[in-house]
Structure 1
Amino acid sequence: MKRKTFLRSAAAVASVAAVVALSACGGADSPDAGGDGGGGGDTISIGFSQVGAESGWRAANTKSIQDTLTEENGFKLSFSDAQQKQENQIQAIRSYIAQGQDVIAFSPVVETGWDAVLQEAQAAGIPVILTDRAVDTEDDSLYESFIGSDFVLEGERAGNWVAENFDGESMKLVELQGTTGSAPAIDRKEGFAAAIDGTDIELVDSQTGDFTRAGGKQVMEGFLNSHNDIDIVFAHNDDMGLGAIEAIEAAGLTPGEDVKIVTIDAVKDGMQALADGKINYIVECNPMLGEDLAEIAKKVVAGEEVEKRIVVEDAEFDQQQAAEALPDRLY
């Protein structure tokens, strides 16, 4: 996958360190998040705090990181699952600081409330790398780099497709938002709203489904009970869109026909639903960030300059394109 501002290097660093990876059951509140910090020789010790395991996208993202940050690639990985709780991530980061990790990386549950713990990492001389989601801070020296997608642009792309196909038809639209306060939820909503502004597409309701399939189904059931003649669903990720499909079918309606569905992510389950005609359009959000994270970690440990913002170049898919892409889909 191409990057707009960063080209991967093929270099690898030899290592004989053991890989340490906590399971989701260990959680970020485990007293020993794995690893003893300060890997010897050329080994880079890195502590990574993941948001959780809320979606197929997140599972693919975790796999990419764990499959890349291995001893063969020169890393000693300590992994923790925050289970969608900011306090768990903060505790994990402080644990990594205490362990003296060479690098700390994490995907923030929400945008705000990170300055204090990031200042602690900075004071300890440990560089921080953000993956997938950014933080809202006035001091961008608190982290070395952000690696991920342009969430505003993703929302705009989804909104542009809706506007191009349904403006002029007085359509009623509902929105399934991601986790409240998270960067993708905030940005995708903003981008989508800007794209449909000035059209006669009416947003009649918008609620969070927490990026989960179960949440998407539950909220969509509520939408269907509260509103007549819903024409379009915009889901901030595939999993919520898949949950919406279940609710729509249970109501005796046909997803993709009676109710159009637009989502973001392009994981296999979502792409299959698109190929089957149950989803109408998907904007990709590439979860395969492991190689970029490995390369940036090596550079910051070596004292090299890195790009402050590394943006993933994502695709878009209609039904035919999804069917063509599915056989070779990695996630």
Structure 2
Amino acid sequence: MASAPFAGAASAATIGVAFADDDTFLKLLRAGVEDEASKRGDVSLTVEVAGKDADRQMDTLKSFIDHKVDAMIVNLVNSDNGKAVSQMASEAGIPLVYVNTQPINAAELPRRQTFVASDDEKGGTLQAKEACRLLNGKGRIVLMMGELTNPAARRRSDAVAAVAKTEECSGLEIVERQSANWKRDQGTSVMGEWLNADVAFDAVLANNDDMALGALRIMSLRGLPMDEIVVAGIDATPAALTAMKTEELDFTVYQNASAQGAGAIKAAIDLIAGEKVPPAIDIPYELVTPANLANYVE
């Protein structure tokens, strides 16, 4: 899947953009990248989606380098490829911006490289603390995780576990945890397995909204007392905000895809211009509850 392959005015900066996949959040992230590029008018994008195929993504990046793009924006399929990607870009003299997925070498990026994202530990912490508050510090949690190879899934999940060990939330117990790979249908399947196994729980915390919505689907079909169970996700996707409006989803945590995308374009342009860019650019997470929902709904 590509857009405007290596096309544009001669004066425009050419940026190769490589996405890991096209799930709900990454579609919003892509829109943020493309909207910012469109606003500027001096940027020509080539966008490729790897379909979670790390080898395919590496081939895409080699093609970007062969075509001498002015900069690359990369949402990694596999964070472990960070060192190799950084080396490729550095040797080619091409500025590199990682977006959303943290590369394994984030702490030691070469010059003219940066990482734009939201701090997943903070996102998981916000989610867990709000669940703790709603449960009055005591309850059984089932934790639905993203892909286990993805650092965002690990950091969000670890943050939930860390909150459960704090004094004020020590009454929380994680009774089950399983990956549903960021997918809504897998969220439904995992929740179905837990229900079939008679797992008792007071809260469902999912690493993203799609998995939470998938869990809600089968919980509702099975007739669970939804007013007695806390269900929360992360991202604040349009579907999740709609579920909050109908009082199905209790809360979510906003990951600003638009700001991440815009930040990636801005960082790439600054690096092309030779300006100094920090090695990490944080786009803060925000807790979305019924009290402030109106601020996030158009």
The TM-score, its normalising length taken from structure 1, stands at: 0.82
1:157 aligns with 2:157: no
- The aligned residue for residue 318 of structure 1 is 289
Q: Are the counterparts in 2 of residues 268 and 326 from structure 1 also a CA contact under 8 Å? A: no
Give secondary structure in 2 for the equivalent of 1:69.
Answer: helix
Give RMSD over aligned pairs: 2.1
Q: Are the counterparts in 2 of residues 178 and 211 from structure 1 also a CA contact under 8 Å? A: yes
Matches within 5 A, 1:97-112: 97-112=65-80
- The aligned residue for residue 245 of structure 2 is 275
Q: Are the counterparts in 2 of residues 48 and 104 from structure 1 also a CA contact under 8 Å? A: yes
Matches within 5 A, 1:1-331: 22=2, 34-35=5-6, 41-55=10-24, 57-70=25-38, 73-137=41-105, 139-141=108-110, 144-169=113-138, 171-198=139-166, 199-255=170-226, 257-288=227-258, 289-322=260-293, 324-328=294-298
Q: Structure 1: how far apart are the matches of 2:30 and 2:295?
A: 22
Give secondary structure in 2 for the equivalent of 1:79.
Answer: strand
| 1:73 positional shift | 2.0
| 1:127 positional shift | 1.3
Q: Structure 2 counterpart of 1:150, which letter? A: D
| 1:102 positional shift | 0.8
Q: Are the counterparts in 2 of residues 155 and 189 from structure 1 also a CA contact under 8 Å? A: yes
Give the fraction of aligned pairs with identical amino acids, expressed as a percent.
23
Q: Structure 1: how far apart are the matches of 2:6 and 2:289?
A: 44
Q: Structure 1: how far apart are the matches of 2:160 and 2:36?
A: 33
Q: Structure 1: how far apart are the matches of 2:108 and 2:193?
A: 41
Q: Structure 1: how far apart are the matches of 2:18 and 2:99?
A: 10
Q: Are the counterparts in 2 of residues 212 and 239 from structure 1 also a CA contact under 8 Å? A: yes
Instruction: Give the 3 Å change call, closer, same or farther, for CA 91–185 of structure 1 in structure 2.
Output: same
Q: Structure 1 counterpart of 2:238, which letter? A: K
Q: Are the counterparts in 2 of residues 110 and 182 from structure 1 also a CA contact under 8 Å? A: yes
- Show CA shifts across 1:167-213 (max 9, x none): 553x2211110112112101101111111114121111111111111
Unaligned stretches of 5+ residues in structure 2: none
Query: Would you tell me which structure has more helix in proportion to its own residues?
Result: 2
Instruction: Give the 3 Å change call, closer, same or farther, for CA 123–326 of structure 1 in structure 2.
Output: closer
Q: Are the counterparts in 2 of residues 53 and 83 from structure 1 also a CA contact under 8 Å? A: yes
Q: Structure 1: how far apart are the matches of 2:112 and 2:229?
A: 43
Give secondary structure in 2 for the equivalent of 1:147.
Answer: strand
- Show CA shifts across 1:23-61 (max 9, x none): 6xxxxxxxxx9217xx77431111001121122x22211
The TM-score, its normalising length taken from structure 2, stands at: 0.91
Give secondary structure in 1 for the equivalent of 2:234.
Answer: strand
| 1:70 positional shift | 3.4
Give secondary structure in 2 for the equivalent of 1:265.
Answer: coil
Q: Are the counterparts in 2 of residues 118 and 143 from structure 1 also a CA contact under 8 Å? A: no
Q: Structure 1: how far apart are the matches of 2:252 and 2:231?
A: 9
Q: Structure 2: how far apart are the matches of 1:326 and 1:282?
A: 11
Q: Structure 1: how far apart are the matches of 2:39 and 2:126?
A: 39
Say how many residue pairs are matched: 293
| 1:139 positional shift | 3.6
Q: Structure 1 counterpart of 2:77, which letter? A: V
Q: Structure 1: how far apart are the matches of 2:65 and 2:101?
A: 21
Q: Structure 1: how far apart are the matches of 2:252 and 2:62?
A: 38
| 1:103 positional shift | 0.4
Give secondary structure in 2 for the equivalent of 1:319.
Answer: coil
